Amino acid sequence: MRTSHRLTARLVLALCLATGGSVLASSLVPTVALAQDKTAERLRLEEEMKRLAQRNAWAGVERKYNELLALNIDLPFDDHQVGAQAARSLGKTLEVYERLLRAQKIQASDEIIQELAAIDSQYGRVELKGSERFLVPVKPAVMPFAPDQRKSVEWAEEVMTNTGSFRGMLPLGTYKVACQEFEVVAGPNFLTIPVEKPKKKELEACLAGQGLAGGGGDGTGPSAADYTEGIIGYHGFVGTVGYNFMSNSAPKDPVADLSNPDLYQAQGQSVTGSGISAQLGYEIGFNGANKMFGTALTVGYTGMYGGRTQYADRPASFNGGNAWLAATIRPGDLRIAVGPTWNLYYGEGTGVACWFELAPNEDWDPPATGSDPERCSRPDQQTYEPNNIEWRGFSVAPGAAFAVGFAPVELFSNEEGFGLRGVVELGGSWATDGNRQIINAGVRVGVVPHIKRFNQ
């Protein structure tokens, strides 16, 4: 008996190990596949980065290096070295320092140690905290002579005049931003400067002293207003068209006929079907937060053709017009829109809700399980066929809508940066007239405004 028990225990243990091993193996398969995909993508990006570096296309090298970092995997020594070279060519000294540190951790190098020490002795860390609505450059009291240092200053000016803020390294010395003067010193800590906008006359005088306003001999030149951005950061048309699925629930309550209170209106049973949807309107985005927030007002159409009520044999249709006021969020190439809608629907078909009765003064007996025509019959009265009764009419239905889109392709942009981008989006809406629920969902293609953003 003991031998039998031991044999059984061993079999159970072996089965558990086999099962656990198979579960572990199956769970590791996606992880291994993902790692292999990242490795292949890393090799592809590295090859592109090398080709761009050979052509001295350092802006392209910078993009590829950042794409490598986004893979969130360990990179070799050479990748960080080439990335540091790209940052150096653009004047991004803080990024040079950080990438050299990454390379040094992988492979110790006296040359890198000396370069890091040189940066520490010649540059200081500074953070200028401003606003996207006040794009004034940062200016040194004396422009440095060394090419690398000049590029660092020029990069800081470019970032400030595009974003209103800057976080990086600058050559040691005295600087001015608007009317504020500050000293950049060596050290591991960041000097934080809140960039404040002074009053107009004071700002005009400060900018003129730096040759940034009224700099011409005749007093002409940019004014303080030229460094101040308005509220509007971008604007343009938005329009989409695509497939639409619509579902209308059965009315939850009977509605009396206005011309004869003893009769119920012929409201349709639940209807589902598909059709098209289209939207056209205008979107306005605001400065600040990297132009991420905006608002859009659109008018549109949603249709359903050949829809089916629950029991009727003949098709039904719904056609709706809508107005949509949406708040928009534009992080990168994504576009998210959500907001209230106002809808006007016209529908027609056969198959009315089961409580539709022609017998006057009949009390409504609500069905226990939805629109079942058999529950509309009465033993002592004539049975009517709701499926053969036609219905049509209008419905006013407020509600809400949302859309999530991806707009990676620029179709057009002008010198000011305004234009259009192609978008693919998933959208849906909900509306109610107080008695029935109307739901739409679909996929659409179209255009949305292009946003000119400065990429650091």
Percent with pLDDT over 70 in the chain: 79
pLDDT exceeds 70 at position 6: no
pLDDT of residue 393: 85
Using the predicted structure, report yes or no on whether residue 27 has a pLDDT greater than 70.
no
Q: What is the pLDDT of residues 72-103, one digit of tens each?
A: 888 999 999 999 999 999 999 999 999 999 99
What pLDDT is attached to residue 78? 92
pLDDT of residue 2: 45
pLDDT band at 264 (very low <50, low <70, confident <90, very high): low
Helix (H) or strand (E) holding 8: helix 2-54
**CB 370, CB 410: distance < 8 Å:** no
Question: In this predicted model, what pLDDT tens digit does every residue of 273-310 receive, in sequence order?
Answer: 899 999 999 999 998 778 899 999 999 999 998 887 76
pLDDT of residue 374: 47
Burial track 283-319 (b if 16+ CB lie within 10 A, e otherwise): bbbbbeeebbbbebebebbbbbeebbbbbbeebbbbe
Q: Output DSSP code: residue 39.
A: H
- Listed residue (234, 232, 191, 227) closest to 210, CA to CA: 227
User: CA–CA separation, 326 vs 319, rounded Å?
Assistant: 22
User: What is the reported pLDDT for 366?
Assistant: 47
Alpha carbon of 81 to those of 53, 110, 267, 344, 404: distances in Å? Answer: 11, 14, 72, 62, 39
Q: What is the pLDDT of residue 438?
A: 93
Q: What is the CA radius of gyration of the chain?
A: 34
From 180, 176, 403, select the one nearest 302 (Cα to Cα): 403
Q: Please report which confidence band the pLDDT of residue 178 belongs to, taking 50, 70 and 90 as the band edges.
A: confident
The structure's pTM equals 0.71
pLDDT recorded at residue 232: 87
Helix (H) or strand (E) holding 67: helix 58-70
Q: Is there a contact between 176 and 141 (Cβ–Cβ < 8 Å)?
A: yes
Mean pLDDT computed over 186-200 = 90
**Per-residue model confidence (pLDDT) at position 149:** 95
Residue with tokens 């226990």: 368
Query: Computed from CA positions of residues 197, 202, 206, 212, in that sequence, does the dihedral angle turn out positive or negative?
Result: positive
Give CA–CA dist 63/172, Å, rounded.
28
What average pLDDT does the structure give for the chain? 83
Nearest to 455 by CA among 51, 92, 56, 196: 92
Look at the block and give the residue holding tokens 């951005």: 229
* pLDDT tens sequence across 127-158: 999 888 888 889 999 999 999 999 999 999 99
